[in-house]
Amino acid sequence: MSQKHYHKESTQFEELFEEQTGHERHLILHNDDVHTFDYVIESLIKVCEMEPIQAEQCTYLVHYKGKCDVKTGGLEFLRPYRKGLIERGLEATID
């Protein structure tokens, strides 16, 4: 089985499992020691549609704790947010 085919089947399985169990995932923003607080706050407001105070709090958590749970939801719901953060040069994962 090719790697591409395996990944497609794996993703389909994850989505089916999530749909059947109601399993939620978390979009995690990680500290990168590169971007400014203002840039991260602006990114969270624009990409994740956060209120400014929420984005500021999340940015401080990322700075001091190393990561912050930015959004919770299904895999398909979180993917565009992760992509947007990554396109802005930030480190984000879905766990």
pLDDT grade for 19, boundaries at 50, 70 and 90 = low
Pairing of strands 67-73, 25-30: antiparallel
- Quote the pLDDT of residue 1: 44
Q: What percent of the chain has pLDDT over 70?
A: 77
- Quote the pLDDT of residue 80: 98
List the beta bridge partners of residue 21.
Answer: none
- Quote the pLDDT of residue 23: 81
Does the domain spanning 23-94 belong to CATH 1.10.1740.10? no
Residue 22 has pLDDT above 80, yes or no: no
Q: Which residues contact 72 (CB under 8 A, 6 or more apart)?
A: 24, 25, 26, 27
Domain ranges of the chain: 23-94
pLDDT grade for 14, boundaries at 50, 70 and 90 = low
- pTM for the model stands at 0.77
